[in-house]
C-alpha cells in the first residue's frame, strides 16, 4: 500500500513478477485501487457489463462452431444448433438474451453516470470512451442481428443499410459497398459475420481496457460527487476510500447473483420476452420476395429509430431551431477565436441551406446518429456547480425523470407500426430529448443548489 513497504513475492509468483508485472497490476487495479466507501447498487452495472461481455464471448465461440455464414444455410444452421447440438438451445438463448441484457445493463450504467455527474472533470475521457463503447456495441448488435437470417434480420438490415443511401453524393455507392451487393445477400452476411465475430469485438475490448485504465487513473466518482483523493490518511491513502478487493468484489457478487437469477429466468422461461428480445418474424426464414407488414429494429435501437421516423420535412425547421440553440453558447463564449466563431456561423448557415437542398430522410439519419454522438459532449454541456443529483434543485430531478420516461416512450413508439398520432408523439419526444441536452448549458445553472459536504456521506451496512 502507499507509504508502506511492498512485500516481495517469492516462488512461482515471484518468478513471474520479475518478468511480468502481475502482482503490481493486481495491486494497482484491484487490491490497492481505492474506491469511495459510499458506492450503492447503481455501481453494480459496470461489473455486470463485464460479466455479460464474458457471457457473449463464450457463448459466441460455441455458436460459431456450428453456424454457417451462408445465405442458403444460415437459418437452417441456427435451427440445427437449437434442435440437434447438445445444449445448443441453451447457448443460443443465452447469447440472444445476453444481447438484450447487455443493453439493459449499459443503459442503467449510463443513467448512473448521468445522475451522479460521472462525466464531469476530471472524467471527461472516461465518459468519451464509454460513449465509444456504446456506439461499438450498437454496431456489434446490429451486425449480429442479421446472422440468424430470419425475416426481420433480412428486412431490418435492408432498411437500416438503405438509410446510408440518403447521404448526399456518396450515399448510393456507400450502401452498395456496405452490402457488397445491390441487395442484402450472401456477401452482406459474410462481411457482417466477419465484423461481428472478429473486428468489432477486438475494438470493443480495446475500448473497454482504455475505459478502465482511464477510470483508474483519475479514480471513481461516487453518489456525492466528491473527489476522495483530496483528503488522505498518514499513509497517503484516500481517507474516504476502501480497497476495491475484497470490499467491492464481495459487494458486486450480490449484484451478480441477482442478475443471474433474472438472466436465467428469462433464458429458461421467456427467451422471446413477448417478441421484444426475439421477434416472432425472425423464426421465419428470410424471404426477399415477402416483406413483413411492419419492420422495426430490436427494442434497444427503437428510441433512436423513433427519432429517425419523426424527422419529416416540416420537422426539419425544428431541428434548425435546436441547431441555433446549440450554437449560441459556443458562439457567445468568452475568449473564443474570432475565426472559429465565423466557422460556426458558416456551419449554421450551411445547415439552414441544407434543410432545403436535402430531403428529410437524410436529416433523419443525422438526428438518429447525432442523438447518440451528442452524449459525448455532455461534459461540456453541463455547467452545474455540483456534480451529483443529490445536491441539485428538486426540479432538476423532475427534468431527469421526464427525460427517462420520454426515452422509454420513444422506445415503445419505435416498436409500433407508424401512424399520424405515433409520429406526432415521436416528434414531441424528439424535441424533449434534444431540449434536455441542448438547453442544458442554461437550465443546469438555474435554481438553488445544496452545499456539497467536504467528506462523503456514508452509513455502514448493519
- Residues tagged in the binding site annotation for a ubiquinone: 216
Residue whose C-alpha cell reads 459536504 in the numeric block: 453
And the C-alpha cell for 444?
A: 443546469
> Are 272 and 280 within 8 A, CB to CB?
yes
And the C-alpha cell for 63?
A: 455458436
Give the span between the Cα atoms of 157 and 93, in whole angstroms. Answer: 21
Give the span between the Cα atoms of 427 and 418, in whole angstroms. Answer: 12
Q: Which residues, in sequence order, are CB contacts of 216 under 8 Å at separation 6+?
A: 28, 29, 33
Give the span between the Cα atoms of 79 and 71, in whole angstroms. Answer: 14
Residues 348, 350, 351, CA angle at the centre, nearest 5°?
65
Annotation: binding site: 95, 109, 196, 211, 216
Residues forming a β-bridge with 36: 241
And the C-alpha cell for 161?
A: 443499410
Give the span between the Cα atoms of 277 and 225, in whole angstroms. Answer: 35
Give the span between the Cα atoms of 20 and 18, in whole angstroms. Answer: 6
Annotation: binding site for heme b: 95, 109, 196, 211
> Are 255 and 41 within 8 A, CB to CB?
yes
3-state secondary structure of 238: strand
And the C-alpha cell for 368?
A: 438518429
Q: In angstroms, what is the C-alpha Rg of the chain? A: 24
Give the span between the Cα atoms of 137 and 130, in whole angstroms. Answer: 10
Q: What is the DSSP string of 345-377?
A: HHHHHHHHHHHHHS-HHHHHHHHHHHHHHGGGG
Amino acid at each position: 500500500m502507499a507509504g508502506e513497504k511492498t512485500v516481495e513475492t517469492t516462488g512461482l509468483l515471484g518468478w513471474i513478477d520479475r518478468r511480468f508485472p502481475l502482482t503490481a497490476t493486481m495491486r494497482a487495479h484491484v487490491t490497492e485501487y481505492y474506491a469511495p466507501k459510499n458506492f450503492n447498487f447503481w455501481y453494480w452495472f459496470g461489473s455486470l457489463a463485464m460479466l455479460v461481455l464474458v457471457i457473449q464471448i463464450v457463448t459466441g465461440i460455441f455458436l460459431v462452431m456450428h453456424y454457417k455464414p451462408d445465405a442458403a444455410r444460415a437459418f437452417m444452421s441456427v435451427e440445427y444448433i437449437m434442435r440437434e447440438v447438445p445444449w445448443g438451445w441453451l447457448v443460443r438463448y443465452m447469447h440472444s438474451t445476453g444481447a438484450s441484457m447487455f443493453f439493459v445493463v449499459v443503459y442503467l450504467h449510463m443513467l448512473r453516470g448521468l445522475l451522479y455527474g460521472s462525466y464531469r472533470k476530471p472524467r471527461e475521457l472516461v465518459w468519451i470512451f464509454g460513449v465509444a463503447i456504446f456506439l461499438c456495441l450498437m454496431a456489434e448488435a446490429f451486425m449480429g442481428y442479421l446472422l440468424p437470417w430470419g425475416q426481420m434480420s433480412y428486412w431490418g438490415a435492408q432498411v437500416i443499410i438503405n438509410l446510408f443511401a440518403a447521404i448526399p453524393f456518396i450515399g448510393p455507392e456507400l450502401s452498395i459497398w456496405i452490402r457488397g451487393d445491390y441487395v442484402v445477400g450472401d456477401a452482406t452476411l459474410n462481411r457482417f459475420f466477419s465484423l461481428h465475430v472478429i473486428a468489432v469485438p477486438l475494438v470493443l475490448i480495446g475500448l473497454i481496457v482504455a475505459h478502465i485504465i482511464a477510470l483508474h487513473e483519475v479514480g471513481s466518482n461516487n453518489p456525492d460527487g466528491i473527489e476522495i483523493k483530496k483528503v488522505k490518511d498518514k499513509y497517503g491513502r484516500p481517507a474516504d476510500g476502501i480497497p476495491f478487493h475484497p470490499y467491492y468484489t464481495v459487494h458486486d457478487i450480490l449484484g451478480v447473483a441477482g442478475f443471474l437469477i433474472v438472466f436465467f429466468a428469462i433464458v429458461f422461461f421467456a427467451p422471446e420476452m413477448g417478441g421484444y428480445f426475439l421477434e416472432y418474424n425472425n423464426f421465419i426464414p428470410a424471404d426477399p420476395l415477402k416483406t413483413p407488414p411492419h419492420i422495426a429494429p430490436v427494442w434497444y435501437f427503437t428510441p433512436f429509430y423513433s427519432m429517425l421516423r419523426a424527422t419529416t420535412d416540416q420537422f426539419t425547421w425544428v431541428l434548425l431551431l435546436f441547431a441555433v440553440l446549440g450554437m449560441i453558447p459556443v458562439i457567445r463564449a468568452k475568449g473564443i477565436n474570432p475565426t472559429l466563431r465565423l466557422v460556426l456561423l458558416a456551419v449554421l448557415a450551411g445547415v439552414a441551406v441544407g434543410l432545403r437542398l436535402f430531403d428529410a430522410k437524410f436529416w433523419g439519419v443525422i438526428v438518429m446518429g447525432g442523438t447518440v454522438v451528442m452524449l459525448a459532449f455532455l461534459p461540456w454541456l453541463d455547467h452545474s456547480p455540483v456534480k451529483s443529483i443529490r445536491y441539485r434543485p428538486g426540479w432538476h430531478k423532475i427534468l431527469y425523470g421526464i427525460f427517462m420516461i420520454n426515452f422509454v416512450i420513444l422506445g415503445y413508439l419505435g416498436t409500433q407500426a407508424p401512424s399520424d398520432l405515433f409520429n406526432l408523439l415521436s416528434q414531441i419526444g424528439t424535441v424533449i430529448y434534444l431540449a434536455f441536452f441542448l438547453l442544458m448549458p442554461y437550465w443546469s445553472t438555474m435554481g438553488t443548489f445544496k452545499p456539497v459536504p467536504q467528506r462523503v456521506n456514508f452509513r455502514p451496512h448493519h
